[in-house]
Structure 1
Amino acid sequence: MRTWSRKNSLGGPKLRSEMDAREAAVLRSLVGSVLGLLQERAAAAPEDDLAALTGLRVGPSTPPEDAALARLLPDFHRKEPAKDGEDEAADERADINGALRSLHEPEIIDDKIAAGAVILDTLPAEGGRVTLTPEQADAWLAGLNDVRLALGTTLGIDPETPDHYPPDDPRAPHLDVYHWLTWMQDSLLQAMSP
């Protein structure tokens, strides 16, 4: 993949890069996997009679069990360890997270699916030139971030993770893909900056 560049044209700014067929296939596969997780979660939303009457969609009130999906759809409030006599406050925070998740998760999933769809729609299946509008570039940044979060969670990436694994480590190629996604996201972000 080439570094992203910004070109001004009569139709407005465009962001450009090129990917070979293998890179395009890897990115398509990763985005498709993340979209599959999100679509499964959306399909698991409970049926709600009030939602059917009002048109207000609701999502699950419990966090996802899958670690990668939980990273993509975190709680709205961090759970802090309860101090002595604060069990009631911890229960209240859990109720708040459940209510907020139920109300907002469908929209969040929609936005994440839309960002991934932009990547799939603008990425040539066999590789080649990628040209994006600023709005499409924003969607790419969001979609790439979701893929990085999911892959990073699956690999267990944390501050102690080395830059490279030994060549015989089965995680080595996946870590290389994670670094490639990071580079791609950073390159696009720099090209978007005036």
Structure 2
Amino acid sequence: MVGLFGIAAACVLVGAAGFMADPGPAADGVRSATAVVTSGEATTGEGSKPPRPTTKKDAAFGPAAGEIPSGAHLGPTADVPAVQRLDPQLRAALVGAQEAMQANGVQMWITSGWRTDAYQRRLYADAVAEHGVAYARTHVATPDKTEHTTGRAVDIGPTDADYWLIRNGSQYGLCQTYANEIWHFELTAVDGQCPAQRTDALG
């Protein structure tokens, strides 16, 4: 009897351990719902890398909403909504700048371009949840305050390309818009001169 009881108890313990080791679909669902919007790259302050949204299982995200997956190397002629729905004059300026960069050994990628209003709202809401309202207001504009939703703004990487554009972008009409975002460019130059930068997304 003792032997049988010991075997039965051992089976119960093994089964319980297996159940605890497998959280099941519900736990997976929680993880996907709380996935972080931006990659592990630094995104605060001048000189940091551009935020690159990662894929979420959410209707507000995905290529159709303007998302560019982390690690994608897209140029200004890429056949994706985030690029194709940019303002045509902005895309033409980016093509010219990219050709000049490549001639100087610098690679340029579009890390974020056009976005839907819903996508922008989710980026803002997630920034609030992740970093607080003060950070979100200066780093992630609401849909009515950003040119990403109109297709007239683009985020560029890597850092070498950002600095090249800061030095030379005005020749193509491209200007760094916010002092705290070296990756964010808009077609705002007039006669080869960029206007004064705004401090951040609040202006």
Classify the TM-score, shorter chain: under 0.3
The structure with the greater share of residues assigned to helix is 1
Q: Higher relative CO (CA 8 A, sep ≥ 6), structure 1 or 2?
A: 1
Larger Rg: 2
TM-score by length of 1: 0.23
TM-score by length of 2: 0.22
